[in-house]
Every structure is written in C-alpha cells, then in structure tokens.
Structure 1
Amino acid sequence: MDTRWRRRPRRLDPQVADALVALGLFVLLVLSFGVTVRAGQRPVDAGAWVLGVLLTAPYAVHRRAPWLALTVTLCALVAFSLMHYAPYPGVSAFALLFGLALHGRRRDSLLALGATVGAFCLALAVQPAGVVAPSDVISTLLATAVAWLAGDNLRQRRLRWAAIEERARLLEREREDRDRAAVTAERLRIARELHDVVAHSMSVIAVQAGVGSHVIATDPTAARAALGVIESTSRGALTEMRRMLGVLRQDGETAMHPMPGLADIPRLVAETRRTGLGVTVSSTGDGAHLPAGLDLAAYRVVQEALTNVLKHGGPVAHVHIARTESEVELEVLDEGSPRRPRHGDVPVSDVGLAPGAGQGLVGMRERVELYGGSFEAGPRPGGGFRVHATLPYAVQTP
C-alpha cells in the first residue's frame, strides 16, 4: 500500500511554534523602541516594556485561549496608545488576528476582526495631534483586513487539503476492500471449481475401486471394467485440473480447452452410467445461446447433483433440463432406495463411501445465486432427493 498518506514529516510542536512567534514579535517591538519621539509622545520606560510583553506574549496561547489572548493584546494596544509611547505596536495585533483567523472558526475570527478594527481606531484617535495622518489610518485598516484575509484563506486551504487527504485515504481503503473482495470471490470460485471437479471424479473412483476390490477374485472382467472407469475418470480430472491451472497462470503453457457446458451433459451422463448408476435425461426447449459462465454453472449443478446421487442416493437418477428464451431450469431426482446402484452384483453401500460434508449443496447454491437464480434442494415427499435450480439469462454478475 502507498504509505504517503500515513507517513508525514515530523512537525514542530504548535505550542513551541507559537512561543517562538511571540518571542519574535517581542524582539521586533523592542527594536522599534529606538524610533524618534515626536511632540506629545513620551520615551520608552518600564511601563512600555510591561505593555510590550502583554502585547506579544498572548500569541503563545491564542490556540488554547483565543478570547483571552485577544482581550489582553487589544487592551495593551489601547493602553500603549493612551500612554503616548512613540513606537507603534500594530504588528503584534496583526499577527494575533492572523493566527485567530488561521486556527479558529470563521465566526470567531470575524468577531476578532471587528474588535481589532475598533481597538485600532481608538488607539489612533487618542494619539497626539500631528502624529497620525489619514494615510496611517488607511494603511492600518488595510493591514488589518489583509491579516484576516491571509489567515482565513490559509485556513480554507488547509481544510481543502485535509478533505483531499481524507478522500484519498477513503479511496485507498475502498480500493483495498475491493481487492480483498475480489480475492475472496476468486478463492471461492476456485474452491467451487476444485470441489466440483475433484468431488465428482473421486466419488466415481472410490465407487469403482470398491467394486474392483470386491470382484477382482471372482469376476476379473468386472474388475477390469472398474479399472478402466478409474483410469478414464482420473485422466479427465487431471485434464480439468490442468485447464484450471492454465487459466490461473495465463502463461499460455497449458493447452486451453473450452470449459464444459450443457452440451457436455451427454458425456457426463455416459461417464456416470459406467459407474453403475442409472441415469435418465430429458430436455425441452432450445432457448438462446447461454453465456459461458452461466453455461458452466448449469453444468456444474448437474454434475454435483449426480455426484450426490452416486454417493447417497438411489439406483436411478433423473435429469431434466428445460430451456426457454429467458432462463434454464435444471432438476435432478433420485428414487430414494438405500444406495443400491450396482456394478455387477456389488452394492455401492459396500464400498465404504464416507458421507459428504454438504459442501456440494453450498457450492451449487452459491453458483446459482451468483447469476441471480433460485436454488432448492431437499428430500422428496415420496422418498429420494430433489435438486432444482433456475438460472435466468438476464440477471448476471460479471
């Protein structure tokens, strides 16, 4: 992740910075104590030094106590003028107004602006005759306005930058959330594909291995046929696995073949029948050409349903596929006999298949719901099990 929004250069502590500014203002005021004294003005004495401290020190606390700082500074400004000291301490008031506009709320800074203008007008009005010219009044008022505008403008800039940085952080978090969601979705998709391929193939292999082991001494022909089914099923599973790994790598090294779809149902049924499970297939309607993803989802639903029948269901499975212009409907039924599909004379219940963990139904439901369809699975009233899914063409998730 880009850490430019997290790692910032260390800044000077605001309280230390304000104290340094206050010290600098005091130094500037002290340097102005050497100006020429005009008629009616008095030279600098101890009172001027005290008022100088009161004029500049409040800047150090203007963030924590803005109104106290403003009150002390303006009162000292007026007192400095009433005492007719020669230096003009306007810079301290300008700096304080700038700080209040920069660090405070606009409403408060506007009130501070009005108070500062009033204090300057009073301070200029009490000066001895001949000391203040009209240009001094205008320049003072203009400087006051500039100080407030500069502070307020910089505050607005900081707010905008803060908003931009916050938006950037939000966008970064949203991007990370989308990436995590995409990774999770891809993992689920891969898990479904692996389950559908491996579970079906391993179920067939387990059944045929049990059959072969049972009849190898008494019926070598049946055992040879079981080994043939194991060989073809394992080869098919390996091909599917290589195909999936090729899609994940996308390096062109693995031969790519079209993913299976409803057109491959006859091949799936033929492979399933070789295990000894009876399968009937009926299909109605032609409908529109199915999108590749939806076609694969429909195939996997039928494949997993037949796998469940092979492991847990009756001797015969009935597959019905109905296609219209807007949806495809899938239904897989079994007759509910206690696992009696046979290869020769050997019942499947004798080959030691462990009950599934129910992941197949979860995978089927996720696939169907991914395309906005409906899914139902459960026991039939008269015995057996029913899997029913409807996949619409129009509602799809990329």
Structure 2
Amino acid sequence: MDGSRGNTPWYRSTAVEVLVALGYALVFLSPGAVEPALRAWLVAGALLTVVAPLPLRWRRPRTVFCVVLVGNLVACCLGVVRDPLLAAAFALYPVALGAAPRERRGVLRTGVGPAAALLVLAAATGGVGVAASAVRTAVLGALALAGSWALARAAAGRRAQAERAVAEAARRAVTEERLRLARELHDVVSGTLGVILVHASVGRHLADQEPARALDALGLIETASREAVAEMREMLDILRTDSSPGDADEPLRARLLRVVDTARAVGVETSAEFAGLDVLPPWVDQAVHRIVQEGLTNVIRHAAPTRCRVRVSVRAQRAEVEITDAGPAGAAPLPPGLSFGRGLTGVRERVTALDGTLTAGPLSGGGFRLLAAIPLGAGPADKVVGEGVPRSRMGEEAGR
C-alpha cells in the first residue's frame, strides 16, 4: 500500500522527510543513561530502525510503520530515546491516511500487538522503575498514535469529500454539455427542417399551377439549407476550439432579421422591434438568437399563416424577448397545457441556465405568447440546467 503526497515532487518530499528524521535524532536521541559498552551499538540500532526508515514512510507506509514502531518501543525501553512513540506516530500517519475500511483492524493489530508484548516484557524484567517508565510510555504513546490516526482519518475524509465533489462537478458538466448540444441541435436541425417542410409543401401544391412560385419555394429551401449547414459548422468549430457561443462575427440584429425574413417568406406577417442589442454579453446574445429562432419556428409550424410580433429589448439590466402571434386564421384558441413537442423545453433550459425566467402559453383571445427575461450579469451556470424546475411545468410549456 503506497502513500500519497499529492502533486509534490518526490525529491522535495523526500528531502523534507530526511530533515524531519535528522531533527528527531538530534532532539530525542539521548543514550546518556546507557552502558558505555553498549552505547554505540544501541545508538546505531536506533538510527537504523527508528530514524533511517522515516524518509520512506510514503513509499512503503506499512512496512516503515512496523519497523519504526518496534524500534521505537525497544529504544524507549532501553533508554536510548526519550520520546513517547512520536516516531511511530509520525510513521503511522500515511498508513492511516490510505487505509481502506477493511484494512484498519489489521493496522491496529499490527501496531498494538508488538507494542503490548514489548511493554509487558519490559515491565516484567526491569523492576519498578522500568515498569513505571513502560506504563508512562504506553499511555503517552497511545495518545500520540491515536492523535496521528485521528488526524490522518480526518484528512482522508476531507480528501474523499473533495474527490466526490470533483466527480460530481464533472458529471454535472457532462450533463450540462449534453443538454447544451441537444438544444443547439434542436434549434438548428428542427427549426430548419420545419421551414423546409413548409416550403416543400407549398412548392408541391404550386408546381403545376404556379411554377414560378414553386421555384421561389425551392430557392427558399436552398437558402434555409445553406444557413443550417453554416450554423452546424459554427457549432462544430465551437466544440473544436475554446471559443464560446456568441463569438460569431455577424451582429445579433442581422441574425434576428434573417430569422424574421424566413418567417415572412412562409406567410407569417411579422413585425420586429429591437433595442439595446449592443450591450448584450455573448452568452445572452446567443440565447436571444436561439429563443427568437425557436419562437418563430413554432409560429411557422403551428400558426402560419398569421400575424406575429417580435420584441427584443433591455430593461433594468435584463434582456427581454417577447413573441406573440394571433394564432391560425379562423382557428379556435389553443387549450391550456397543450403540448406539441420539445421546443419550449429547450428554451426553458436555456433561460434557466442563465438565471432567467420564461412564461409561455395560449392567450385568452387566441394566439400564443412567449416572454423570456435574462439578467445581463448572469454567466453560464455551473449547474445542470433545468434542475429545480418542476417537470410538470416544463411539460406544460414544451409544446410550441
């Protein structure tokens, strides 16, 4: 079982461990009470078993802990060092830090067994003074080891919590990106196919009687297809680079007017009012474009030919998008809660991701109204969009 020092270079961490070991030897090594004939041998043994292994505690944590624990106990019993198992506690930290739940009892048995045996042996053979010293070493050493274990487990808990937070953030980022791609694909593919479908239907009905108008419909189909291909390429460029949505060179007004012209070409009498577009940040710029695109696509699908009003303005540091249509000519008002597809679900997700609000639904006198408000200071949210929005509410507005 290997320890972990994060991203610290091995040579730097090893140098720190060597300095700590040398400091321990200078402070706690005290062979003055040892017989002179044995002093050199005991000091050498303490250096080899207590001090020397410490720099390797992160590479072989359990092995180093066992060696240092036994050496520390023997050195304490023989009076070579005067610390209450501080070296063993220092070596225990990486063991406790990386111990899995099923390994913790084994670690405790590894430490407690030899310690108890050596202390009992020292107390039984060394007289009253040695017995008292052994008890004192046992009590203080147990406190030191318990403190090291508690600190390591607390650090392990914080690290595990941080890892879970990183994993959750990554999962949420993947989900957000997946939903963003779904919205972009829906806005580009579904909107364009809806316009193409309308023009193809008009061209088919007029091919025999009014071939000139049928050719005009084919020209509009070609234009819509080219625009869809261009938008798909732009989206792929965004995915391949570090650019963000809204980095397009074309001004928002020009993009909105092109969407409005497309609606007019299929029989939707559209009036447009744009104000304050130059102050929109890139992410709001992109959201406004997509909302207008989706709103007019819904009008084309469900209400054309009809009258429609599009208003985009900035009020109180909020961008407002309002799209209102009169409904199909001669059609009855739409019943509340009627659902047609996924269009408004994507719009709501897009608006919610920017901390905005969306209201959409049929009007009492006929027609449909969509109103979105997005704060200008809102950046792309670091949460899964749509979270916290009741599914039933999203489903009720998902139709248009």
Q: Distance in 2 between matches of 1:361 and 1:251?
A: 28
Show the 5 A alignment for 1:232-311.
232-250=223-241, 257-258=248-249, 261-283=252-274, 285-286=275-276, 289-311=279-301
Are residues 1:191 and 2:182 paired? yes
Q: What do you get for the CA RMSD once the two structures are aligned?
A: 3.7
Query: Partner of 1:210: helix, strand, or coil?
Result: helix
Q: Which one of 348, 363, 375 corresponds to residue 380 of structure 1?
A: 363
State the partner residue of 2:221. Answer: 230
CA distance in 2, matches of 1:318, 1:368: 20
Identity %: 37
- Alignment gaps of 5+ in structure 2: 6-59, 71-107, 332-337, 382-400
Deviation for aligned residue 1:320 = 1.6
State the secondary structure of the residue aligned to 2:279. coil
Shift, 1:338, TM fit: 4.7
- The CA distance in 1 between the partners of 2:278 and 2:233, in whole Å, is 30
Q: Which aligned pairs between 1:200-211 and structure 2 lie closer than 5 A?
A: 200-211=191-202
Q: Residues 292 and 323 of structure 2 are in contact (CA less than 8 Å); yes or no, is this contact kept in structure 1?
A: yes
Whichever residue aligns with residue 150 of structure 1, its letter is G
**Are residues 1:370 and 2:364 paired?**
no
- Whether 2:351 is the aligned partner of 1:361: answer no
- Contact map agreement 2:360 2:368 (CA 8 A) in 1: yes
Q: Does 1:93 align with 2:120?
A: yes
- CA displacement, residues 141-195 of structure 1 (integer Å, 9 cap, x when unaligned): 2222112222221222122222222222221111111000001001111111111
Separation in 2 of the partners of 1:324 and 1:376?
Answer: 17
**Deviation string for 1:207-243 (max 9, x for gaps)?**
0011111111111111110110010100110111111
Inter-partner Cα distance in structure 1 for 2:138 and 2:121? 6
Q: 1:393 aligns with which of 376, 391, 395?
A: 376
CA–CA separation in structure 1 for the residues paired with 2:282 and 2:180? 15
**CA distance in structure 2 between the partners assigned to 1:238 and 1:288 by the alignment:** 26
Q: How does 1:1-398 map to 2 (within 5 A)?
A: 91=118, 93=120, 137-250=128-241, 257-258=248-249, 261-283=252-274, 285-286=275-276, 289-314=279-304, 315-324=306-315, 326-338=317-329, 357-398=340-381
State the 1:270 CA deviation.
1.3
* Superposed structure 1 runs of 4+ greater than 6 Å apart: none
Residue 91 of structure 1: how far off its partner (Å): 4.7
Q: Sort the Cα spacing of 1:287 and 1:257 in 2 relative to 1 into closer, same or farther, 3 A.
A: closer
Contact 1:208 1:227 (C-alpha < 8 Å) held by counterparts: yes
CA contact (8 A) 1:313 1:385 kept: no
Q: Residue 352 of structure 1 aligns with which residue? A: none
Residues 251 and 300 of structure 1: is their aligned pair in 2 closer, same or farther, counting only changes over 3 Å? closer
| 2: CA distance, partners of 1:259 / 1:4 | 51
3-state secondary structure, aligned to 2:133: helix
Q: Deviations over 1:331-356 (max 9, x none)?
A: 1111112599xxxxxxxxxxxxxx98
Instruction: Give the aligned residue type for 1:316.
Output: R
Distance 2:314 2:182 in 1: 28
8 Å Cα contact 1:294-1:391 kept in structure 2: yes
Give how far 1:298 is off. Answer: 1.1
Letter of the aligned partner of 2:349 in structure 1?
A: E
Deviations 1:41-93 (A, max 9, x none): xxxxxxxxxxxxxxxxxxxxx98xx9xxxxxx9xxxxxxxxxxxxxxxx9553
> Secondary structure in 2 aligned to 1:207?
helix
Is the 8 Å Cα contact of residues 94 and 143 (structure 1) preserved in structure 2?
A: no
**TM-score, with normalisation over the residues of structure 2?**
0.59
SS at match of 2:308: strand
Following superposition, the deviation at residue 258 of structure 1 comes to 3.6
SS of 2:319's partner is strand
The separation in 1 between residues aligned to 2:181 and 2:251, in whole angstroms, is: 15
Q: Which amino acid aligns with 1:318?
A: R
Q: 1:288 to 1:228 in 2, by over 3 A?
A: closer
How many angstroms apart in 2 are the aligned matches of 1:297 and 1:375?
12
What is the count of residue pairs matched by the alignment? 270
Instruction: State the distance in 1 between where 2:139 and 2:278 align.
Output: 71
- 1:393 and 1:379 map into 2 onto residues whose CA distance is 28
Contact 2:119/2:135, CA 8 A, preserved across alignment: no
Give the 3-state SS of the residue equivalent to 2:215 in structure 1: helix
Higher Rg: 1
How far apart, in 2, do the equivalents of 1:154 and 1:206 lie?
76
